[in-house]
Amino acid sequence: MPRVVFRLILPPGSPPAQTLFLTGDHRGWSSDPEGWTFTAAGELTADLPMGALTGVKVRAQHSDGTVTEEGDAWGGRAPAHKIVVNSETVIQLAVAGWQDTRAGQGRPSRSAPPREAIMLAAPWGDQAVQLWWPAGHDTGPLPLLILHDGQNVFDEEPTFAGESWDAAGAAQALAEAGLPCRIAALPVGDDRSRLYVPFPFELNGFVSGADDYADWVKGTLLPALHARFGPVSAQHTALAGSSFGGLITAYCGLRDPGTYGTLGVLSPAVWPADFEFLRWWQGRRDPQARVWLDMGDHEGSSLASAAETVALAQTLAETLRPQVQEVQFVVGGGHWHDEAAWRTRLPDFLRWWLDGLTPLSP
C-alpha cells in the first residue's frame, strides 16, 4: 500500500497541550486517536490502499477526554480534505480554525440569500419555504423549481459545512440569458432521513415519513405557491435534490406521475433498506416526465467502488428511459458526494430543464 505522509499547518493560537489526530471516511470518523496521532512536529505517516478515496479531518483530544474537530475561521463546520491515494505522497493539511460556540455565525457569504422565507404548516411541524426569483418577476407565473435540502441551497451561513449550491447565482445568470425561473427551497434538519427515505432503515428508526412529505409537497406546497404567484403547469414544475434528496425526488415523481414535468435526481442515494428503491421503481412510469440523473466519478470509498456507483446510476438511467419522456445522464468528472459538486452541476441542470420547456403563456 502507498505510504502517505500528512503534514499539519495549524492556525495561529492553536493550544499546544492537545493530542492531534486524523479521522475520516477511512476510519468511520472515529474519535479514538490511537494509531492516528500526529507527532509534535505535526506529521503522521499512514499506509492507505491504492485507489482509496477518503475525506479526512483533524481532531484534537483534550486532557479531559473531550474532542474538538477542525472547523472554519468562524468556528463552524468545514468541508473535509479530499484525498485520492494513487501513489506515495505528502499531503499538506491546512486547518483554518476549530469548531466552537460561534458555530459559523458571521461567516461571509459568497452566494445570494433567498428573497423571502415563509412558513407553512406540515404534519411534522412548521416547514420553512425559502423563495427566490429574478428581479422584475415579483408576481406572475414562472417555471418553478422545488429544491430539497434548502439549508444548503442559497447562502453559505446556514449550510452544513460552509458550502452552498449558489442556486440564486446560477438562476440569475440564466434569467439574464432569457431563461427566468422561481425557486422554492425546503430546509430540513434532523428529520431528513425520515422525510427523504421512503423505506424503513436504521437512520430513520425504521419509520419512514416520505409519503407524508410527498403528500405535503403535492397537496400543500404547490397550491400555496400557485395561490401566491399564479398557477404553473406540471410541465413547468421541477423537483430536484441530491443524495437522499435525489432519492425523494425520484420517489415523489414516480409515485405521483403527472405532478412534476422534470425531476432533477443528483447523486441519488439508493442504498437504504438493501437497495429497496431498485425494486420499488420497477414498472413505474411517467410518460410526460423529463429526468436528469447524474453521479460524480469520485462517489465511493475507492476509485473502483466509485466506478461501480457510476455504473449503477447508468443502469438506472437505462432502465428508466423507456418509462419517461427523456433521461439525461451525466457523470461529473472528479466530483465527490458533496455540495461543491452539486454547485458545479446545478447550472447545467437548470439550463437543460429550462431549454426544454415550451414558453409560458403571459
3-98 against 116-355: fold identical: no
Q: What is the pLDDT of residue 15?
A: 66
Question: Edge-to-edge strand order for the sheet containing 144-148?
Answer: 116-120, 127-132, 182-186, 144-148, 237-242, 262-266, 286-296, 324-332
DSSP 8-state class, residue 37: B
3-98 folds as Immunoglobulin-like (2.60.40)
Q: How confident is the model at residue 207 (pLDDT cuts 50, 70, 90)?
A: very high
In angstroms, the first-to-last Cα distance of the chain is 63
All structural domains of the chain with their residue ranges: 3-98, 116-355
Whether 269 has a pLDDT exceeding 80, the answer reads: yes
> What mean pLDDT do residues 258-263 have?
98
- 138 falls in which pLDDT band (50, 70, 90)? confident
How far apart CA 313 and CA 23 sit, in angstroms, is: 29
- The mean pLDDT of the chain is 94
336 band by pLDDT with thresholds 50, 70 and 90: very high
Query: In the numeric block, which cell numbers belong to residue 345?
Result: 452541476
Number of C-beta neighbours around residue 238 at 10 A = 28
Encode pLDDT of 214-229 as tens digits: 999 999 999 999 999 9
Which pLDDT does position 37 carry in this prediction? 97
Largest CA distance in the chain: 68
Give the Cα separation of 310 and 111 in Å (integer).
30
Please tell me the distance from the alpha carbon of residue 245 to that of residue 239, in angstroms, as a whole number.
Answer: 10
pLDDT at 114: 95
Task: Describe the crossing of helices 339-355 and 167-176 by its angle, rounded to 10 degrees.
Answer: 30
Distances (CA, A) of 28 to 24, 47, 57, 219, 275: 6, 16, 12, 40, 21
In this prediction the pTM is: 0.94
Element (H, E) at 289: strand 286-296
The pLDDT tens digits of the residues spanning 143-171 come to 999 999 999 999 877 776 778 999 999 99
Mean pLDDT of all residues in 262-284: 96
Asked if residue 120 lies in contact with residue 127, where contact means CB atoms within 8 angstroms, the answer is yes
Average pLDDT over residues 312-337: 97
Range 116-355: architecture per CATH: 3-Layer(aba) Sandwich (3.40)
Helical (H) or strand (E) element with 213: helix 210-216
- Look at residue 102 and tell me whether its pLDDT is greater than 90: no
3-state secondary structure of 263: strand
